[in-house]
Amino acid sequence: MFLRYLKFTIVLINLIIPTTALFAQDNSAATAKQVVEKFQADLISVMKNGKQLGYAGRYSNLESAVTNSHDLPKIARVIVGKEWEKLSEDQQKKLEDLIVRLSIASYAHNFKDYGGESFTYDSEEETTRGGILVHSHFNIPNDKPVKFDYMLKETGPSWRIINIVANGVSDLALKRSEYTSILQKEGFDSLVSKIDDKINDYSKL
């Protein structure tokens, strides 16, 4: 009886140890810098094959890169500010889905050609609200580099981008100013229509 129990225990331990190690490996979150650098590497990879991929191919290749590095539901909430609470659950979900599509579409449109561009990491700093700013720049041959500042917050066990500032211009601030104004003056359906139009424009240009 004791030998049978001992064998069972050994088998159980052998099953638990690899499983525990696997969970530990899966839960090891990337740093804010690693999240940004992985996303930038994905962008460069798509740019290098941009013409062959076409818009649809670039969109498909960037879908996971964007959703795995950006906190898009949070971005959707921040974009409309206090107006978020006035939306129904269905409207909130629809807006989140639109922001996801818009974000991927904008990257697929803006990063479509490759001419030797690259990203360079500069530095990072903690913010007073517990976030991290990752500073980098985008090198463009025969042109001035573009400074990119990525604001990241912890979402569960990992870091996610919630805002990108390019040469001092905040993408989040621009969208918030535009979208809240549309919501207040024209309503939710008008905002949805305008975002849809923008996504369609990205796919054609």
- Every domain of the chain and the residues it spans: 1-28, 32-204
Distance of alpha carbon 205 from alpha carbon 20, whole angstroms: 49
Give the DSSP letter of residue 143: S
Does residue 139 sit in helix, strand or coil?
strand
User: What integer pLDDT is reported at residue 6 of this predicted model?
Assistant: 34
User: What integer pLDDT is reported at residue 4 of this predicted model?
Assistant: 38
Q: List the chain pLDDT tens, one digit each, 205 residues.
A: 433 333 333 333 333 333 333 333 333 479 999 999 999 999 999 999 999 999 999 999 999 999 999 999 999 999 999 999 999 999 999 999 999 999 999 999 999 999 999 999 999 999 988 999 999 999 999 999 999 999 999 988 899 999 999 999 999 999 999 999 999 999 999 999 999 999 999 998 6
User: What integer pLDDT is reported at residue 124 of this predicted model?
Assistant: 97
Alpha helices in the chain (DSSP H): 2-26, 32-48, 50-69, 72-80, 89-110, 171-186, 188-204
Distance of alpha carbon 70 from alpha carbon 201, whole angstroms: 22
Torsion of CA 138, 141, 144, 149, to 10 degrees: 0
Torsion of CA 107, 108, 113, 116, to 10 degrees: 40
- For the domain spanning 32-204, the CATH number is 3.10.450.710
Paired residues of 91 in beta bridges: none
Query: What one-letter code names the amino acid at 126?
Result: E
User: What integer pLDDT is reported at residue 7 of this predicted model?
Assistant: 36
Paired tokens of 18: 């690899």
User: What integer pLDDT is reported at residue 55 of this predicted model?
Assistant: 96
C-beta of residue 80 within 8 angstroms of C-beta of residue 95: yes
User: What integer pLDDT is reported at residue 156 of this predicted model?
Assistant: 83
User: What integer pLDDT is reported at residue 12 of this predicted model?
Assistant: 33
User: What integer pLDDT is reported at residue 17 of this predicted model?
Assistant: 34
User: What integer pLDDT is reported at residue 198 of this predicted model?
Assistant: 96
